[in-house]
Amino acid sequence: MNIIDKAIEAFNPAAALKRQQARMGMELIRTFQNSGYDESGASRTKNSMRGWSARSKSPQEDIDKNLPTLRQRSRSLYMSAPLAASAIKTNRTNVVGEGLKLKSTIDYSYLGMTPEAAAEWQRQAEREFELWAKSKFCDAIRSNNFYEIQQTALMSWLMNGDACVLVEYERPTKFFPYGLRVRLIESDRVSTPHTTGNTVNLYAKDLQTGNRIYNGVELNDAGQIVAYHICSTYPNSNLHTEKKWTRVKAFGDKTGIPNVLMIYETERPEQYRGVPYLAPVIDSLKQLTRYSEAEQMAAVINGFFTVFITSESGAQDVGFTGVVPEGEEVTNDNVSYELGPGMVNMLNPGEKVEIADAKRPSTNFDAFVTALSKYIGAALEIPVELLTKNFTSSYSASRAALLEAWKAFRMKRAWLAADFCQPIYEIFLIEAISSGRLKAPGFFLDPMIKKAYSGAQWNGPAQGMIDPVKEVNAAKERISIGISTRQKETIEMTGGDFEANVAQLARENDLMKEYGISGAAPSAPAENKTEKENVDDEEGNEEDKVPEHGDTGAEGQ
């Protein structure tokens, strides 16, 4: 207490008490003053934050309830917004391309096999899988082969948030010895029984098991996925077909083999359905599409030469007409007028046409669209160069953008391989080995042996090269210092198979030697030579060169 307070206390204790209470109140306010995130993102006092009432609930309430709307808007954008279609198709082309191809990589050391025996087993497994994968009979509806199903599955995953694959079987035939079938269905059909339209019931239970059902996914008391409920038709379909739901167990009771494969990206713990890829940018994409359409229409209207004629006498007949012949107009009523190149419209007496000139199209259109495309691309992990297919930056900038994009592409490829391709391959191996088409001792006796035989890589399209010379030289350097292998570089640069390349090169070299053609690629790396020796070799090659068939060796003849 200071001197003033003591003086007031002596003459007016009541006033001194009020001052002390006020001081204590101020101290209390200071004690509870904003701290940490209270001063920024969690502030409720800042003017910029007062109207922001964000509330987060369970993944089912935040995600599942909004999925029907998100899916329909995502599909609408894919069908009507160029940037949305580009984002999804760019992923399809780079993640899957022509299809993720199997490269068997068994753990031969654990299996006690020699490298030669392992290589032969791997080649045979790849042949058998190609027999199944390249046939449309692998598809339950016989529409696509396995590699085309991969493309559709990825696009369904991106557009709808998840893709649902049913594992089915048919009786093998003499012309197709495998009974494994893959059925890809739209994610909308995985729904809670007795729901209609866009409704999502988060409180349903299976009448027989008593398990909870979240948006078609049935969980036991431990929160484990035990079954999926699949509708016989689409929620918003106008086809007059009866809706029936089938309960499909997630895994076989005896074999543990998955009956249903759900492909989706998990954003939050305890999430059972995926979110459409375009969900974070739906609003931005729609606004950009509307803006682009408005600018496009403004440009079209500005390109028209339309004449409006007003007659004081009310005459409706003039000596010239527009480019649209009489009777072919869209409408010829008295309240509608058409715009078009060379169009002539007769106005009624007293009518006047005023067209608002907003100076469109805007000269800033390209800059604005590019800026917003960067904003959208950042959320989708696609650089604007790839999103718009406009490569005008420097080599370094373009390469950096491509490398950044491929981080996301490789991650999605790994997800697709782990959630779809690898499980299907392991199910295929079970049938191939049990039928005797592949020999794998101990496969059904020990899970470790089964895992050793099931090892595989899934290789897709290569990244591509902006400057092939620079990147090939960089690959050579990585191999020479031991931080990469020829097999890895072949996969990453061309998507090919190094062993197949070596075998093919050997055949080509033998063929060229047989016909006496020089310049065949060496079968082994050449020894280090001095610059003079290399020059001498090049001069000797020029002197010994044999003209190809039809080449006289003369210039300009």
Of 306, 305, 304, 311, give the one whose Cα is nearest residue 346: 311
Number of domains in the chain: 1
316 inside domain: yes
pLDDT tens for the chain, residues 1 to 557: 677 777 777 777 788 788 888 887 777 666 555 667 777 788 777 788 877 888 888 999 999 999 999 999 999 999 999 999 999 999 999 999 999 999 999 999 999 999 999 999 999 999 999 999 999 999 999 999 999 999 999 999 999 999 999 999 999 998 999 999 999 999 999 999 988 777 788 778 988 899 999 999 999 999 999 999 999 998 878 777 788 999 999 999 999 999 999 999 999 999 999 999 999 999 999 999 999 988 888 877 776 655 555 666 555 554 444 445 555 555 555 555 555 665 666 666 666 666 656 566 677 888 899 999 999 999 999 999 999 988 887 878 888 888 899 999 999 999 999 999 999 999 999 999 999 999 999 999 999 999 999 999 999 998 877 778 888 998 899 999 999 999 888 888 887 888 888 989 999 999 999 898 876 555 444 444 444 444 445 444 444 444 444 443 334 43
Contacts 24+ apart (CB under 8 A), 453-456: 453/106, 453/111, 453/429, 454/106, 454/422, 454/425, 454/426, 454/429, 455/104, 455/105, 455/106, 455/107, 456/102, 456/103, 456/104, 456/105, 456/422, 456/425
CB 361 within 8 A of CB 368: no
- What pTM did the predictor assign? 0.78
Give the closest residue to 70 by CA, choosing from 230, 185, 188, 237.
Answer: 188
Provide the token pair at 521: 């690629």
Answer whether residue 518 is part of any domain: no
- Residue 362 falls within a domain, yes or no? yes
Token representation of residue 77: 């954008």
pLDDT of residue 362: 74
Q: How far is CA 541 from CA 11, 311, 394, 534, in A?
A: 117, 89, 38, 11
Cα 194 from Cα 326, distance rounded (Å): 56
| Within-domain flag for 152 | no
> With DSSP H G I counted as helix, E B as strand and the rest as coil, what are the percentages for the chain, rounded to 5?
45, 10, 45
Domain membership flag for residue 552: no
- Give pLDDT, residue 16: 77
For 24-33, b/e burial (b = at least 16 CB within 10 A) is: eeeeeeeeee
Main-chain phi, psi angles of 427, to 5 degrees: -65, -40
Q: What is the pLDDT of residue 535?
A: 45
Give the pair of three-digit tokens for residue 370: 């590019």
Terminal C-alpha separation, the chain: 113
Tokens of 383: 């650089």
Q: How many CB atoms lie within 10 A of CB 417?
A: 21
Residue 68's contacts (CB-CB under 8 Å, 6 or more residues apart) are 188, 197, 198, 200, 235
* Distance separating alpha carbons of residues 217 and 201, to the nearest angstrom: 11
Strands 162-169 and 260-264: what pairing? antiparallel
Provide the pLDDT for residue 263.
96
Is-contact 307 190, C-beta < 8 A?
A: no
From residue 240, alpha-carbon distances to 141, 183, 186 in Å are: 22, 23, 19
Q: 339 in a domain, yes or no?
A: yes
pLDDT at 524: 46
Residues across the chain? 557
Domain with 327 in it: 291-374
- Residue 312 burial by Cβ neighbours in a 10 Å radius (0-12, 13-18, 19+): exposed
Three-state SS letters, 152-215: HHHHHHHHHCEEEEEEEECCCCCCCCCCEEEEEECHHHECCCCCCCCCCCCCEECCCCCCEEEC
Instruction: Tell me whether residue 302 is in a domain.
Output: yes
Amino acid letter, 255? T
Strand 101-104 to 260-264 pairing: unpaired
- Domain annotation covers residue 53: no
